[in-house]
């Protein structure tokens, strides 16, 4: 048995550190669960709003589509001409469908900018 007060103090300190680490891990796990739940709720809300278009870049938020602008809370900002949610949805669906006829992998979307060009939405396949 350990009877040295210094050894007992060290063991008690280690035990307290382990308890603190466990609490931090639990808190991080709970934050992760809350975030996942918020994302799921946002996706479900997006499914309920059939006239909305989910951002292909972040896949969480609905796009704001105006005649000369498409933007998202994630930072997507693209100038357009005569764009509507219906047109944008049709363009996205047709390009993803065309890709799926040739490839089983899901494409990824990013925003690109050239030196003097305006921002563009780029669809690419990781394969």
Cross-strand bridge partners of residue 66: 69
Question: From CA 81, how far away is CA 78, in angstroms rounded?
Answer: 10
Rounded to two decimals, what is the model's pTM? 0.54
Q: What is the pLDDT along the chain (127 residues), one digit of tens a residue?
A: 556 888 888 999 999 999 999 999 999 999 888 888 887 777 776 565 556 788 888 888 888 888 788 888 888 888 888 888 888 888 888 888 888 888 888 888 888 886 667 788 888 888 8
CB-side exposure of 112: number of CA atoms within 13 Å?
7
Per-residue HEC secondary structure of the chain comes to CCCCHHHHHHHHHHHHHHHHHHHHHHHHHHHHHHHHHHHHHHHHHHHHCCCCCECCCCCCCECEEECCEEECCCCCEEECCCCCHHHHHHHHHHHHHHHHHHCCCCCEEEEECCCCCCCEEEEECCC
């Amino acid at each position: 048995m350990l009877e040295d007060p210094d050894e007992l103090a060290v063991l008690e300190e280690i035990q307290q550190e382990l308890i603190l680490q466990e609490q931090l891990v639990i808190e991080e796990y709970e934050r992760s669960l809350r975030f996942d739940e918020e994302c799921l709720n946002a996706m479900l809300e997006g499914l309920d709003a059939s006239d909305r278009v989910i951002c292909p870049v972040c896949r969480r938020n609905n796009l704001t589509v105006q005649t000369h602008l498409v933007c998202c809370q994630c930072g997507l900002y693209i100038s357009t001409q005569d764009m509507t949610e219906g047109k944008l949805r049709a363009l996205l669906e047709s390009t993803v469908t065309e890709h799926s006829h040739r490839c089983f992998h899901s494409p990824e979307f990013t925003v690109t900018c050239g030196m003097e060009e305006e921002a563009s939405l780029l669809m690419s396949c990781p394969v």
